[in-house]
Amino acid sequence: MKKALKISVFLFLGLVISCSDDDGSTTTDVNLAGTWDLTEVNVSSAVDVDGDGSSSTNLFDEADCISGTLTIREDMTWSFQQSQFTVTTITNNQYAVQCTGTVQGTGAWANNSTQVQFQGSTLLGILQINGDELVKTDGNDLPGIRSYVYVKR
């Protein structure tokens, strides 16, 4: 009986190991190493923060003070710098954006074919790989942010 149990355990472990889809690889179709620029900060409804008569769901079109850069290195480390800003409700579906400085972060990263996980800081978390873009989805309604989009230089 003990021999049958040992064989069963051995076969089970062999099956689990051979069927694992995690081979430790960090390669994808996208070369992640490089500098990525923040190009979109999307909100749930179009707003005219700058008062020019044109509304947009992308705060980049409305607030000149927003910027961000993400550097992903081949040695599996990253660094990040982005404008710190808040969106506040004024009245009658009007909103204001106020930039108050810069936030920074560093850490290690790992990825699979669909997402990149940034460890060492809660600023980025997990970003989805969407073609040549990295997208962080927060999914919040105004005055919160729906998503951040980074594009490689």
Q: Determine the 3-state secondary structure of 65 from DSSP.
A: coil
Domain count, the chain: 1
Residue 102 lies in a domain: yes
Q: Is 134 within a domain? A: yes
Residue 98 inside a domain? The answer is yes
CA distance 128 to 131: 9
Please indicate, yes or no, if residue 52 is contained in any of the structural domains: yes
Assigned domain for 11 exists? no
Domain containing 142 equals 24-152
Residue 29 has what pLDDT?
57
Q: Has residue 58 been placed in a domain?
A: yes
Is 17 part of a structural domain of the chain? no
Is 152:35 a contact under the CB 8 Å cutoff? Answer: yes
Measure CA 139 to chain center.
12
For the stretch 109-133, pLDDT in tens is 999 989 999 998 888 999 999 999 9
Residue 30 burial (CB count, 10 A): 16
| CATH assignment of the domain containing 109 | 2.40.128.300
Q: In this structure, is residue 14 part of a structural domain?
A: no
pLDDT per position as a tens digit, 59-100? 999 999 999 999 999 999 999 999 999 999 998 889 999 999
Question: Quick check: 107 and 119 in contact, CB under 8 A?
Answer: yes
